[in-house]
Structure 1
Amino acid sequence: MPSANQAQAKVQKLRDQMAQMQASTVEQIAQLKAEAQRKYEELQLQFKTEVAAREVEVTRKYDELQLQLQNIMKMFQQSQNRSS
């Protein structure tokens, strides 16, 4: 049967192991949190870049359609002037 000192030493050893495990777990959580934050920021930047690119494309198409509409209106007015 172990002595009281041996039992106390074993308990202390287990406490030390638990403290190490807790510290390791806290460190792993901090690393995971940092990685999640980095990934979130990366995705936010990617999203903003895609939105900006789409806005440019939509603006270009809008301008193109506006120009086409203006040309159609000019042709219509010219045809109306010829008819008069």
Structure 2
Amino acid sequence: MQVSTVEQIAEVQRKYELQQQLRADAAAREAVAVAREAVAVAREAEAAMMVAEQSRKYNELQLQLQHMIKMFQQSQKPPS
């Protein structure tokens, strides 16, 4: 009977350790998933910032072009 009890205790201990390992593995997988999501969000934010910067530069160039056209048109007017 003692052998059976010792075997049962060992089996319970083994199952407990296996359960703990499964929980640790699940937590590690969750951490990896969260990290990947964070990387994806950071990449999206970086892309949005690049688009905003390109848009700002485009608008600045448009204003410069309009100013140059206006100056050119004024230079083409005959003197009054």
- TM-score of the superposition, structure 1-length normalised? 0.69
Q: How many residues matched?
A: 78
Task: Tell me how far apart the structure 2 counterparts of residues 26 and 66 of structure 1 sit (CA, whole Å).
Answer: 60
State whether structure 2 residue 11 is matched by structure 1 residue 48: no
Cα RMSD after superposing both structures: 2.3
Matches within 5 A, 1:1-84: 5-73=1-69, 75=71, 81=76
Q: What 5-or-longer segments of structure 1 have no aligned partner?
A: none
Q: What 5-or-longer segments of structure 2 have no aligned partner?
A: none
Summarize deviations over 1:8-62 as a string: whole Å, max 9, x none. 2222211111100011011111111222222222222222112111110111112
- TM-score of the superposition, structure 2-length normalised? 0.72
Task: Tell me how far apart the structure 2 counterparts of residues 19 and 27 of structure 1 sit (CA, whole Å).
Answer: 12
